[in-house]
């Protein structure tokens, strides 16, 4: 009997546990080590930030659903991984051993790398639901006392979609409150151009997003390095191709929300052969760590190199479809190892993204992620907003039901009749 442990119960970890449970059957045990017993659907956080969702609406109590599926939950969290001993040290001093491990710990948010940045400084965040709840309070204060706003993503960020989403969602919330005319908005981003998204653009994301920015009176600064945030201003250096400072900006702000750079969690950082210098987990094409072949990884914690050099560093996004594909490949490969076979499933590292703007949005598909691509498609419209709601509903249903049917999002797309997304293979059969 093999014991498979999943570390992390977010978007990748929960579905990995369900898929492992179904694939391995009763002969093998599945455990999850998590931070607490609640799942939160991170992609809904921008809506929480403006009060369009409350925490309960995007939260799932994992105790009951895991018990029903015979998945052991260890909510103490991991203090340190000891891969040579195949053991996770828990925060309460306990320990859990494994035969196979799936790391799905997502990002640690590197706010501390910039002076005055983050919820303990002068800016808001939507990366965690509790941050988004604080952001909602700050949005209420902004509506009561309108002033300049900065939205964007800092140097080293890899997650740009939510920054654009939040800019347009906040714009809508401020229009609804009839104060938008008193809120100058600036989008400050490390991307070399609007719509780069860490992917060197997809289809016409540059044209689409620049057009939306103009329509919504949002100014922008690209190639931006955030140096410091003070109570009433953001200090931003615009960086030239040769790395010199092209222009220093002092952007007035009473409200700032910028996506931080990510790094791997502390429990994994500095483990020789397991993680890169930023703490992301090294994985081969089978999602398997080369130094510790019983360790697999899925989701944001996986090390993926950037698509190319940019004046200010930007990372590659890891989104839901790609994470599901990593999960399916990982589960398949662990099952093969348990049955004395070699791994043979390769995840399709594509980027499929729905960026909601509150009443419309843009969607894009990049396959493969690095250009030139076989599929390089983007589109916009109200349907994206509806598709995003469907994505949320289907994913939460999946986590609450404990079922491992893959690609609920794809079913959602199909239900909405989005022809382009129907054509795209999102599973491991590519
Ligand atoms: P997470 O969902 O972050 O899960 C990691 C889990 O590991 C967490 O529960 C965490 O508590 C746990 N953990 C961390 N440390 C420990 C420890 N020491 N011990 C135990 N557990 C630990 N992608 C899309 O496809 N569509 C979107 O619309 C979208 N919107 C996004 C919006 C935002 C604001 C952000 C930040 C990302 C968004 N993404 C989106 C990208 C991506 O899909 C999400 O970040 C997703 O949550 C990543 O899944 P994950 O499993 O890798 O990490």
Distance 177 CA to ligand 1 centre (A): 31
Mean pLDDT within 252-268: 98
Residue 45 near ligand 1, beta carbon < 6 Å? yes
> Regarding predicted confidence, which is higher, 308 or 269?
269
Pairing outcome for strands 95-97 and 100-103: unpaired
Cβ-based neighbour number of residue 217 at 10 Å: 12
pLDDT of residue 315: 95
pLDDT-based confidence at residue 41 (cuts at 50, 70, 90): very high
Instruction: Enter the tokens of residue 373.
Output: 């691509």
In tens, the pLDDT along 351-406 reads: 888 899 998 999 888 888 888 888 888 888 888 888 888 888 888 988 999 987 65
- Whether 285 contacts 346, CB under 8 Å: yes
Residue 135 near ligand 1, beta carbon < 6 Å? no
> Exactly one of 127, 222, 301, 353 is catalytic; which is it?
353
Distance 356 CA to ligand 1 centre (A): 18
In tens, the pLDDT along 52-63 reads: 999 999 999 999
Domains of the chain: 3-109+263-350 (3.50.50.100), 112-261 (3.50.50.60)
Among 19, 36, 299, 318, which is best to mutate for testing ligand 1, by the most ligand atoms less than 8 A from CB? Answer: 299
In tens, the pLDDT along 120-173 reads: 999 999 999 999 999 999 999 999 999 999 999 999 999 999 999 999 999 999
Residue 325 near ligand 1, beta carbon < 6 Å? no
CA distance 50 to 174: 9
Distance 158 CA to ligand 1 centre (A): 13
CA distance 81 to 89: 6
Closest C-alpha residue for ligand 1 atom 8:
10
Mean pLDDT within 315-341: 94
Spatial CA neighbour of 280 closest among 428, 104, 160: 104
Task: Estimate to the nearest angstrom the gap between the alpha carbon of 205 and the chain centroid.
Answer: 19
- The pTM score is 0.95
Flag whether pLDDT at 299 surpasses 80.
yes
- Whether 106 contacts 301, CB under 8 Å: yes
CA distance 318 to 353: 10
Residue 305 burial class via C-beta count within 10 angstroms: exposed 0-12, middle 13-18, buried 19 and up: exposed
CA distance 402 to 188: 40
Instruction: Enter the tokens of residue 35.
Output: 């931070």
Closest C-alpha residue for ligand 1 atom 41:
319
Is 353 among the catalytic positions?
yes
Spatial CA neighbour of 154 closest among 119, 121, 187, 128: 187
**If you ran DSSP here, which 8-state letter would residue 92 be given?**
T
Q: What is the mean pLDDT of the chain?
A: 93
Q: How far is CA 223 from CA 95, 96, 116, 217, 310, in A?
A: 45, 45, 20, 20, 8
Per the DSSP assignment, residues forming a β-bridge with 101 are: 5, 295
Q: Angle formed by the axes of helices 11-24 and 320-338, to 10°?
A: 30
Is 301 among the catalytic positions?
no
In tens, the pLDDT along 163-222 reads: 999 999 999 999 999 999 999 999 999 999 999 999 999 999 999 999 999 999 999 999
Cβ-based neighbour number of residue 149 at 10 Å: 24
């Amino acid at each position: 009997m093999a014991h498979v442990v999943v570390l992390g119960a977010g978007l990748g970890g929960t579905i990995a546990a369900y898929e492992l449970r179904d694939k391995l059957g009763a002969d093998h045990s599945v455990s999850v080590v998590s931070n607490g017993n609640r799942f939160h659907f991170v992609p809904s956080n921008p809506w929480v930030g403006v009060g369009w969702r409350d925490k309960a609406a995007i939260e799932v109590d994992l105790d009951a659903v895991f018990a029903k599926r015979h998945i052991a939950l260890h909510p103490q969290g991991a203090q340190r991984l000891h891969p040579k001993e195949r053991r996770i040290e828990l925060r309460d001093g306990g320990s859990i051993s494994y035969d196979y491990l799936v790391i799905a710990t997502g990002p640690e948010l590197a706010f501390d790398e910039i002076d005055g940045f983050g919820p303990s400084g002068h800016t808001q965040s939507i990366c965690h639901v509790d941050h988004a709840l604080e952001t909602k309070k700050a949005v209420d204060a902004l509506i009561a006392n309108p002033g300049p706003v900065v939205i964007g993503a800092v140097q080293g960020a890899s997650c740009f979609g939510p920054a654009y989403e939040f800019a347009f969602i906040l714009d809508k919330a401020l229009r609804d409150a009839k104060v938008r005319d008193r809120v100058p908005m600036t989008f400050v981003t490390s991307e070399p151009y609007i719509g780069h998204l860490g992917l060197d653009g997809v289809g016409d994301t540059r044209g689409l997003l620049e057009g939306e920015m103009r329509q919504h009176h949002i100014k922008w600064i690209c190639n931006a390095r955030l140096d410091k945030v003070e109570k009433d201003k953001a200090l931003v250096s615009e960086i030239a191709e040769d790395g010199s400072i092209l222009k220093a900006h002092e952007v007035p702000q009473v409200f700032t929300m910028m996506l931080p750079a990510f790094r791997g969690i502390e429990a994994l950082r500095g483990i020789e052969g397991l993680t890169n210098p930023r703490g992301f987990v090294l994985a081969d094409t089978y999602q398997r760590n080369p130094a510790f072949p019983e360790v697999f990884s899925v989701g944001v914690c996986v090390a993926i190199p950037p698509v190319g050099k940019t004046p200010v560093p930007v990372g590659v996004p890891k989104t839901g479809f790609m994470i599901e594909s990593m999960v399916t490949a990982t589960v398949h490969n662990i099952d093969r190892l348990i049955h004395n076979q070699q791994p043979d499933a390769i995840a399709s590292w594509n980027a499929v993204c729905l960026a909601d703007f509150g009443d419309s949005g843009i969607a894009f598909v990049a396959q493969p992620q690095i250009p030139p691509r076989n599929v390089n498609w983007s589109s916009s419209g109200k349907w994206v907003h509806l598709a995003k709601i469907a994505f949320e509903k289907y994913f939460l249903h999946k986590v609450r039901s404990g079922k491992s049917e893959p690609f609920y999002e794809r079913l959602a797309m199909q239900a909405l009749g989005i022809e382009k997304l129907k054509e795209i293979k999102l599973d491991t059969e590519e």
